[in-house]
Amino acid sequence: MKVLLIDTAIDGHHIPYLNALTQSTENCVAVLPEQTDLIECMQYTIDCNFAKTKKFFGYLKWIKEIKNITKKERPDIVHFLYGDSIFRFFGIGLGAIHRHAKVLVIFHHIRRSKLKDISNRCIAKKADKVIVHTDSLMNTLKEIGINNGIHIEYPCFNHVKEIDQTFAQSKIGMRKPEGKVLLALGGTRYDKGLNILLEALKKVSQPFHLVIAGKEQTFTREYIENEIITYKEKVTLILKYLSEEEIELCLNSADIIILPYRKVFDGASGPLGEGVALGKMIVGPEHGSIGDLIQKHKLGMTFISEDVENLAMIINKALNEEFWLTDAYKEYQKALDRKTFVLLYNALYYDIVKT
């Protein structure tokens, strides 16, 4: 069985996801925006600039090249790993690819409006399966009228191991903190709501230390330093692309993983999974997938989405209370195992081909 894996980026969690899928089948080929030595399979490169410019003709050129590669490679399955980048184009061109192979599409988020719902339904009709990573997104598919969805839990890709917290803190340049350590992990994108957190911390009375670790994006170093000026001695800034070792050190340095995500973010979260793997308390918004996961599996506390005052109150509460792992938390830890993810995809691929 051969699987053609299509992605429009190779940063963040894209590479770990690809690597896991290459273990789900014995023969795969990747189509990426650029070559990478971080995955072990044959690769084609196609310009994916349309994902940023959102230009229709750029998309048409991209989908035509994928069709040509499909005809050349003759895969059993063509798997689009980031359906979020093509939803604005209503699945145009997927039907032509579907004539040559089975088609799978992943929706990491599902944005709602009448037009977006129509687009998502059009894509789903041209796919054999639509994959989502949370129960909340699975319910959203059903609300839209998509009945060929399947839920595969987003795992903890990094093999994070537990390290002595004091050692981890010293390795990332943190002096002995006062109070518990909060970690905002990942790129500083707008939808991840870092500005909401920085504003809320101005109102927090309990002792704390904040680690901001990840690639500088929407919120720049200059912006962050201006916002934290009243509590800058309580902040450790690591604004760069993080290696797996650095991610592991940051996670182990923390007591609480803080996810101040905006309402537009409704997907699975890598930092949530990695934090849960190490038994950390999670503080996140009450909406969508994140809120559902935290509440259902007793992972920590939720706050009213995008509400600075409520977030400050919840942070004060989290800093002041002991956190214990429940049976529900421990069961969810097991569900995040990378091996489970690989096995589920392996079963899905074989089931799709047999069907």
pLDDT score, position 172: 94
Q: Say which CATH number the domain at 268 has.
A: 3.40.50.2000
Same structural domain for residues 115 and 188? no
In the chain, the number of structural domains is 2
Domain span including residue 127: 2-155+337-354
Same structural domain for residues 79 and 98? yes
Same structural domain for residues 32 and 123? yes
Same structural domain for residues 203 and 112? no
Residue 206 lies in a domain: yes
pTM: 0.79
Q: Is residue 122 within 8 Å of 91, Cβ to Cβ?
A: yes
Residue 160 lies in a domain: no
Token pair of 322, please?
A: 């002991």
Q: Average pLDDT of 333-354?
A: 91
**Separation CA 184–CA 194 (nearest Å):** 8
Same structural domain for residues 24 and 127? yes
- 3-class DSSP state of 291: helix
Q: At what angle do helices 327-335 and 270-277 cross, to 10 degrees?
A: 120
Same structural domain for residues 180 and 309? yes
- Sequential DSSP letters for 157-191: -S------HHHHHHHTTPPPPSSEEEEEES---GG
Same structural domain for residues 40 and 125? yes
33: Cβ contacts below 8 Å, ≥ 6 apart: 7, 8, 9, 10, 45, 46, 47, 48
Q: What is the mean pLDDT of the chain?
A: 92
pLDDT interval class at 10 (50, 70, 90): confident
Same structural domain for residues 120 and 230? no
Residues 27-67: pLDDT tens digits? Answer: 999 999 999 988 889 999 998 888 778 788 999 999 999 99
Same structural domain for residues 288 and 205? yes
Same structural domain for residues 329 and 344? no
